[in-house]
Amino acid sequence: MDLFAKCAQGHSLANKAREMNVYPYFHALESRQDVQVVMEGKRRIMLGSNNYLGLTTDPDVIQAGVDALRRYGSGCSGSRFLNGTLLLHQQLERELADFLGKEDVVTFSTGFQSNLGIISALVGRNDYVICDRENHASIYDACRLSYGTMLRFRHADMQDLERQLQKVPQTAGILIVTDGVFSMGGDIADLPEITRLAKQYGARVMVDDAHGLGVLGKGGRGTASHFGLEKEVDIYMGTFSKSLASLGGYMAANANVCDYVRHTSRPFIFSASITPSSCATALAALHKLQAHPELVDNLHKISAYFRQKLLNYGIKIRISETPIVPIYTYETMETLSVTKQLYDEGVYVNSSLPPATPEHECLLRTSLMATHTEPLIDEASEIIYRVLKANKLCE
């Protein structure tokens, strides 16, 4: 059989969505990533971005990127391991470690690559990695890249986590990995119980805080800070592409763990380092977060305002404490149709479909920025209500 036969057949759902003119992907931006954007020639209210603090348009953040581009050039043309380390990389790692209260930080070229690099380096042939079933895809790929054994527990089910821990031989190393904030549902991991079980069974804990940094905790320090469990969580992983308005990822941990990863992680050793401009903008965004912790408060206030507006309209949502506000639309094609109607009416949202959600529990995944205003949320909420009501998805 020809390897490319499946390519000619295409992806069945994508083809069906195209035929029905409800294909939701690859819409092109013609403006900055902001609360309002121009996308394919029309103004849209942006409710589908992970730009939680709204810093992609901050003048100081942009200027830092411009200055770094002029000083260091467009790229490093090599890995951190060899010729690709800048003083800027080291400054970012040092300041981020201080901010998070960890001994050291390792930066990676992307968030996805961070998980690949951390887990594949630490989980060896005789080790076990135990994952929440709703963890990010990069965690699953990282487990496949490692030589360890992966076990999964039902989402947020601490009894099932303990059952998986009981399966592990006493001689094996164990890493429990969980998202801090789950990217589709917006719910927060039960870190108090996870860390308690980890201590009981001699496991280490790693939190993917891609959607937690800048969102939860003291001054936006993340999920562990939210629960006061900074010392109990061994590894923080995060990204610069969300709250820190740039590109790249990181690992924060004890110095000896970071040093081990720097010297054994193939995704780290054999990848080019973060570009100077990306590094500088992440650092400037971190400075902005440190100087303006009220950004986190603003984010929570506008998120609560949006949730209440939707509830007042009789719209069924998943309740959470985060800026991720999922709206139930249930069926796949209905969800795609509603997403297209909202897009045409001037509101951009993301479709959350199986396997990201269970069958018959599809969602519109909306997300807020600290820079959204109440009038803008009023406008978007009214459009969402009007479209959902026309589709008999609310009262």
Active site residue 183: yes
Could you say which of 211, 226, 340, 372 is catalytic?
Answer: 211
Could you say which of 49, 109, 138, 183 is catalytic?
Answer: 183
Q: Which one, of 53, 48, 32, lies nearest residue 213 by Cα? A: 53
Sheet strands (E) in the chain: 36-39, 42-46, 104-108, 128-132, 149-153, 174-179, 204-208, 235-239, 249-253, 324-330, 347-348, 350-352, 362-367
Q: Which one, of 80, 206, 198, lies nearest residue 143 by Cα? A: 206
Residues 6+ apart with CB under 8 A from 264: 121
Q: CA–CA distance from 162 to each of 159, 168, 198, 294, 337 (Å)?
A: 5, 10, 9, 38, 41
Cα–Cα distance for residue pair 79/273, rounded to 1 Å: 5
CA atoms 79, 80, 85, 90: torsion sign: positive
Active site residue 211: yes
Could you say which of 136, 226, 242, 288 is catalytic?
Answer: 242
Active site residue 271: no
- Supply the angle between the helices 294-312 and 374-390 in degrees, to the nearest 10: 30
Task: At 67, list the tokens.
Answer: 């200055």
Q: Which residues are known catalytic residues?
A: 183, 211, 242
